[in-house]
């Protein structure tokens, strides 16, 4: 049976069918087939607690399609976006680890070509600000010493970053947001896309896929066009810790506001906390103690 809120959208050509799709951590996703072809329907309202604005996301998705990175956007309205369905394999962490060079080249093109397609007021994604805002939201329910520890870690991680030029980043490079149709890679889900530092996309891709140091260097070498120097590697390793800290806090904040069938935010936080501990240990073994 087709849910009424899908059937009511004015973009279909009968006959049509709808099936739920897995994978959304904060949104409801359906595949719809009608006389015009296959489509993806994604339901999700604005999430001020995550700095997510759906009108901005729709604009960015259209820009990403125009730049050659994303499926076409067929329809948007408050709380819903309909895009073309791409026949492709959804990547997992193993696929990311197996193709760091391919992903590095994709990110270099994305960062340099997207700004020309983006419209309207610029949105800035700065992970250290996001973490500070998450900690303000979590403060009432977390032990003060835990909040203080996270605040100190965030400040030290920000201090480890060198000045870098602004690029337009995706900022949510979970493996499942990368599709491979056998010829090219696609990027989906633009909730957090905006101007920021390239380091967050690079480090997020690596940390979310649990890349080892050699795979991380291959990613950076492909992106930069030359091997990274020690200072860049230090910043990259610090940003991997940042990416995982942000993911842990994202899960805790989501648990306060969201309820998605099949998603266990506490388990997701624990999974990322384990990865965070591993990344922090690697950083401190390679570069010295993070917090003096």
Say if residue 23's pLDDT is above 80: no
Q: What is the mean pLDDT of residues 2-12?
A: 93
Report yes or no: 40 and 240 within 8 Å, Cβ to Cβ.
no
The tens digit of pLDDT for each residue in 225-255 reads 999 999 999 999 999 999 999 999 999 999 9
List of domains in the chain: 4-84 (3.30.200), 89-287 (3.90.1200.10)
As a dihedral over the C-alpha atoms of residue 241, residue 244, residue 249, residue 250, rounded to 10 degrees, the angle is 140
Rounded-to-integer distance, Cα 104 and Cα 90, Å: 18
pLDDT at residue number 22: 82
The tens digit of pLDDT for each residue in 117-143 reads 999 999 999 999 999 999 999 999 999
pLDDT at residue number 292: 78
Structure tokens at 29: 């996703």
């Amino acid at each position: 049976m087709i849910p009424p809120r899908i059937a009511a959208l004015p973009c279909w050509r009968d006959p049509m069918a709808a099936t739920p799709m897995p994978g959304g951590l904060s949104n409801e996703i359906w595949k719809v087939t009608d006389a015009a072809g296959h489509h993806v329907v994604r339901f999700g309202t604005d999430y001020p607690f995550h700095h997510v604005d759906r009108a901005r996301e729709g604009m960015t998705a259209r820009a990403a399609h125009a730049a050659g990175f994303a499926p076409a956007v067929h329809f948007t309205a408050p709380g819903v976006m309909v895009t073309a369905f791409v026949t492709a394999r959804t990547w997992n962490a193993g696929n990311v680890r197996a193709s760091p060079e391919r992903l590095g080249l994709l990110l270099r093109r994305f960062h340099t070509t997207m700004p020309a397609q983006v419209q309207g007021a610029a949105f800035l994604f700065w992970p250290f600000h996001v973490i500070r805002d998450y900690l303000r939201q979590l403060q009432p329910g977390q032990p003060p010493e835990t909040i203080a520890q996270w605040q100190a870690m965030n400040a030290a991680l920000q201090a480890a970053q060198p000045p870098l030029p602004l690029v337009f980043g995706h900022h949510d490079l979970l493996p499942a947001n990368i599709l491979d149709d056998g010829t090219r890679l696609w990027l989906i889900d633009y909730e957090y896309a905006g101007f920021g530092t390239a380091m967050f996309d690079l480090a997020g891709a690596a940390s979310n896929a649990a890349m080892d140091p050699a795979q991380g260097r291959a990613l950076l070498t492909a992106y930069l066009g030359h091997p990274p120097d020690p200072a860049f590697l230090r910043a990259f390793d610090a940003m991997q810790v940042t990416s995982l800290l942000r993911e842990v806090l994202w899960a805790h904040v989501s648990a306060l506001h969201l309820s998605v069938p099949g998603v266990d935010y506490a388990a997701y936080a624990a999974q990322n906390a384990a990865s965070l501990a591993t990344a922090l240990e690697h950083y401190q073994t390679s570069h010295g103690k993070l917090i003096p």
